Amino acid sequence: MTETSTDGTGQQYIGGKRRSGTSREQVSVINPSNGDVLATDTLASADDVDEAVAAARDAFTGWSRTSPAERSEAMLRWADNLQQRAEELAAVESSNGGKPIKLARGFDIPGVIDNVRFFAGAARNLEGKSAGEYSPEHTSTIRREPLGVVGSIAPWNYPLQMAAWKVLPAVAAGNTVVLKPSELTPLTSVMFAEAATEAGIPDGVINIVTGTGSTAGSALVGHPDVAMVSFTGSTAVGRQVAATAAGQVKRVHLELGGKAPFVVFDDADLEAAARGAVAGALINSGQDCTAATRAYVQRPRYEAFVDRVRELMEGVRLGPVDDPATDMGSLISRRQRDRVAGMVDRARQDGATIVCGGYNPEGTPAEGAYYAPTLITDAAQDSEIVQQEIFGPVLVCLPYDTDDDAIRLANDTPYGLAASAWTGNVFRSQRAGRDIQAGCVWINDHIPIISEMPHGGYKASGFGKDMSAYSFDDYTNVKHVMSDITGDQQKSWHDLVFTGR
Ligand code: NAD
C-alpha cells in the first residue's frame, strides 16, 4: 500500500495543503511488523517549519475570535468525519505502528473520536473565577485567552492518539497548532488534519510538519513565533526541549517517560491481578508510557502470581497485525527491538531470571520487529531493568514484605506517570492512592483512560495535563481585567501617593 509518496502528496500539511518537505532527508515509512514500505517522502526542513508557523500565526486571529459554539460545531463535524473514516484510520494506524488491528479498532481510533467530541463540548465550558467587586471600587473580570501558535511534538507509540491529545485542547481553546509527529509514524496525523479541513476548520489552524527531531523538532521548539511547546516523548529529549524553552521564557508542557509500578497486596484477587499485569504490560507491545513494568507482589502470593503470569504470557498470540485474532504485534522498529533485547540480555548477565520470553519469536515474519512477552524475576531494585524505561513487552516481578515496603519500592524510580494497586482492602487502596507518587493511580485495574479525566506526570515524567478540562490550564492564559466603577478622578488610594488639589 502506498499511502502517499514522492508524487507530490506528501507528509506535510501546511495552510490546508498537503505536500512534501523541502529538506534533503528522505524517509520511508515502514510497516514494522513485516518491513513493507508504506510511503516514501522528503522530510520537513526548517523553512517548512517557518512556513507552517506563519500559516498558524495568520490563522490565529480569526480562529481565536470564533465563538466557542462555532469551534464546537466544527469539532463535532470533525468527529463525524473521523467516524466515517474509522476503518481506514484503524488500518493505517495498525500497519504503521505494527499494532494489532483489534487494538487500533477498539482503542486508538474510538479513543480519538471520543476525545474530539469531549473537546467540542469543553470548548464551551472554559471556566474562571466569577466577575465581581473584590475591591469595592472595581469590577474584576477573568478572561481565559488562547496563547497563539502552539508547537506540538508527538512520539510514535500511539501516533493518532498523541496527535489528538496535543492538538485538541489547543484548538478548542482558540489556539492554532503546528504538530510534528514522529517521522516514523506520520500517516494518521496528516489524515487527522485533512479531516479537520473537510469539517470546516480553517486552513492554518492545524498544520503538520513531518521531520526529524534534530531538524524540524528543534526548529519548532526554538521558533520565536511559537508561544508554547507541548511535548510528548522521552525524558531525555524533554529535558532538551525544556532547556530551549527556558532560554526564551516559553511555556512548556511535558509528557515524558514512565516506569509504572503494579502493586499486588496479599489480599488481592490473584487471578484478576495476573490478568491485569499481562494486559497492562503487553498493551501496544509494552510501548505505552503507562504500561505495567514493575510488579511488586507481597511475598505469600509471589510464586503463584509469577506462575500464573507466565502461563498467561505464553498463551498470547503474536502474528500478522491485520489478523483480528492477533493479540500482540511487533515493536516500532528492529532498532527498538534490539534495544529491548539488549536490556533483557544485560539483566540476565546481572543475575536476573528470564522466566519466559527474552527472544525473537519464531513463526512471525522475518522482517518484523517482534519480541516475545517476557517475564523477569530476581532482578535487583537498583538495576537498569527495574529503574529504566524499557518500552517493550517486558514485566519484572519482585517480592516485598510490608505495606510500607510496597509504597517505598513503587516510588523508587525517577518516574511518576502511572501506577496501580491491587487489593480488596479499602484502607490499603486509599493509602496507595494517597502515597504513590504518580499522575494516575488505578485501583484493581491498570491502563484505562477516559477523555474527562487528566493524564500527566509527576517527577521525571513531566508536568501538565493531557485530556480533560485540566488541560486548558496549560493551553490558555488567565488575564485579569480590573475596571474602575467610581468614575472618580482622584481615586481613594491616590492619597497614599499624593493628596493633590
Ligand atoms: P523521543 O523523545 O525520542 O521523540 C519524541 C518526539 O520528539 C519525536 O517526534 C522526535 O522526533 C522529537 N524529537 C527528538 N529530538 C528532538 C529535539 N532535539 N527537539 C525537538 N523534538 C525532538 O520519544 P519516542 O521514542 O518517539 O517515544 C517514546 C517515548 O515517549 C517514551 O519515553 C514514552 O514514555 C514517551 N511517551 C510519553 C507519554 C506521556 O503521556 N507521558 C505518552 C507516550 C509516549
Tell me if 213 CB under 6 Å of ligand 1: yes
**Share of residues in the chain with pLDDT > 70 (%):** 98
Output the residue whose Cα is nearest ligand 1's atom 15: 213
**Which candidate, 473, 65, 188, places its Cα nearest to that of 196?**
188
> Which of the listed residues 167, 234, 290, 338 should we mutate to test ligand 1's pocket, taking the one with most ligand atoms within 8 A of CB?
234
Alpha helices, H only, 85-234: 86-97, 101-103, 109-122, 159-172, 187-198, 218-222
- The C-alpha cell at 164 is 489528538
The answer to whether residues 396 and 326 belong to one domain is: yes
What CATH number is associated with residue 275? 3.40.309.10
Residue type, 117: R
Q: The CATH number of the domain where 246 resides is what?
A: 3.40.605.10
Instruction: Check if the beta carbon of residue 271 is closer than 8 Å to that of residue 308.
Output: yes
Q: Give 458-473 pLDDT, tens digit per residue.
A: 999 999 999 999 999 9
Does residue 211 lie within any of the structural domains?
yes
Ligand 1 pocket member 240 (CB < 6 A):
yes
The grid coordinates listed for 20 are 512534501
Q: How far is CA 463 from the centre of its chain?
A: 12
What is the rounded CA–CA span in Å between residue 257 and residue 310? 26
Give the pLDDT confidence score for residue 3 in this predicted structure: 40
Q: Would you state the pLDDT for residue 5?
A: 42
Residue 251 located in a structural domain: yes
Same domain, 175 and 109: yes
State the DSSP H helix or E strand holding residue 151, giving kind and residue range, or none if neither. Answer: strand 149-153
Ligand 1 atom nearest to 181, measured from its CA: 9
Q: Give yes or no: residues 230 and 291 share one domain.
A: no
417 lines ligand 1 (CB under 6 A): yes
Q: How far is CA 315 from the centre of its chain?
A: 29
Let me know if residue 93 belongs to a domain.
Answer: yes
Are 329 and 218 contained in the same domain?
A: no
Please give the distance, rounded to the nearest whole angstrom, from the Cα atom of residue 382 to the centre of ligand 1.
Answer: 25
Residue 235 alpha carbon to ligand 1 centre in Å? 8
Domain annotation covers residue 426: yes
| CA of residue 256 to ligand 1 center, whole Å | 7
Residue 128: its pLDDT value, please?
87
User: Considering only CA atoms, which of 357, 343, 361, 345 is closest in space to residue 311?
Assistant: 357
> What's the CA gap between 75 and 483, in Å, rounded?
35
Q: In the predicted model, is pLDDT for residue 61 greater than 50?
A: yes
Q: Residue whose CA is closest, atom 10 of ligand 1? A: 213
The verdict on 223 and 250 lying in the same domain is: yes
Predicted confidence (pLDDT) per residue in 437-456, tens digit: 999 999 999 999 999 999 99
Atom 12 in ligand 1: residue holding the nearest Cα: 213
Ligand 1 centre to CA of 419 (Å) is 21
pLDDT computed for residue 142 by the predictor = 96
Verify whether ligand 1 is closer than 6 Å to residue 159 (CB atom): no
CA separation for the pair 42, 464 (Å, rounded): 33
Ligand 1 pocket, residue 232 CB under 6 Å: yes
How far is the C-alpha of 478 from the C-alpha of 491, rounded, in Å? 26
DSSP sequence for 385-454: HHHS---SSEEEEEEE-SHHHHHHHHT-SSEESEEEEE-S-HHHHHHHHHHS-SSEEEES--S---TTS-
Q: Read off the pLDDT of each residue in 391-409 and give the average, rounded to a whole number.
A: 98
Ligand 1 centroid distance, CA of 180 (Å): 11
Quick one: which atom of ligand 1 is closest to the CA of 255? 41
241 and 323 assigned to the same domain: no
Decide: 389 in ligand 1 pocket, CB within 6 A: yes
Q: pLDDT tens across 187-242, in order?
A: 999 999 999 999 999 999 999 999 999 999 999 999 999 999 999 999 999 999 99
255 among known catalytic residues:
yes
pLDDT class of 2 with cuts at 50, 70, 90: very low
In the chain, the number of structural domains is: 2
Residue 80 lies in a domain: yes
User: What's the whole-number mean pLDDT along residues 304-326?
Assistant: 97
Closest atom of ligand 1 to 332 CA is: 25
Is there a single domain that holds both residue 199 and residue 302?
Answer: no
How far does residue 244's CA lie from ligand 1's centre (Å)?
16
Ligand 1 atom with minimal separation from the 212 CA: 11
Tell me the C-alpha distance between 112 and 105, whole Å.
11
Neighbours of 300 (CB within 10 A): 11
Residues whose CB falls within 8 Å of the CB of residue 377, separated by 6 or more in sequence, listed in order = 306, 352, 353, 355, 396, 397, 398
Per-residue confidence (pLDDT) for residue 293, from 0 to 100: 98
Q: Please tell me the distance between residue 231's alpha carbon and the centre of ligand 1 in angstroms.
A: 7
CA of 320 to the centre of ligand 1 (A): 26
Query: What confidence tier does 8 reach under pLDDT thresholds 50, 70, 90?
Result: very low
The residue contributing the CA closest to ligand 1 atom 9 is 182
How many C-beta atoms lie closer than 10 Å to residue 490's C-beta?
A: 12
- The backbone region for 496, taken as left when phi is positive above 0, alpha when psi lies in -120 to 50, beta otherwise, is alpha
Q: Is the CB of 211 under 6 A from ligand 1?
A: no
H/E stretch holding 49: helix 46-64
What does pTM read for this prediction?
A: 0.96
CB within 8 A of 276, min separation 6: which ones? Answer: 262, 292, 420, 422, 444, 445, 446
Digit-coded pLDDT (tens) for 232-290: 999 999 999 999 999 999 999 999 999 999 999 999 999 999 999 999 999 999 999 99
Q: What is the per-residue pLDDT for 48? A: 98
Q: Within a domain: residue 452? A: no
Over residues 66-79, the pLDDT tens digits come to 999 999 999 999 99
- Cβ partners under 8 Å of residue 33, min gap 6: 95, 98, 320, 321, 329, 330, 364, 365, 368, 369, 370
Q: Decide the pairing of beta strands 440-443 and 418-422.
A: parallel
Residues 183 and 78 in one domain: yes
36 inside domain: no
Q: Is residue 291 within 6 Å of ligand 1 at its C-beta? A: no
Task: Give yes or no: residues 86 and 196 share one domain.
Answer: yes
SS (H, E, C) 56-85: HHHHHHHHHCCCHHHHHHHHHHHHHHHHHC
pLDDT band at 6 (very low <50, low <70, confident <90, very high): very low
Residue range of the domain that includes 242: 48-256+461-480
Q: Which of 93, 183, 194, 255 is catalytic?
A: 255
Q: H or E segment at 296?
A: strand 292-298
Asked whether 234 lines ligand 1 (CB < 6 A), one says yes
Q: Whose CA is nearest to atom 26 of ligand 1?
A: 155
Q: Based on the domain organization, do 243 and 305 belong to the same domain?
A: no
CB distance 277 to 487 below 8 Å: no
CA distance 305 to 272: 10
259 ligand 1 Cβ < 6 A? no
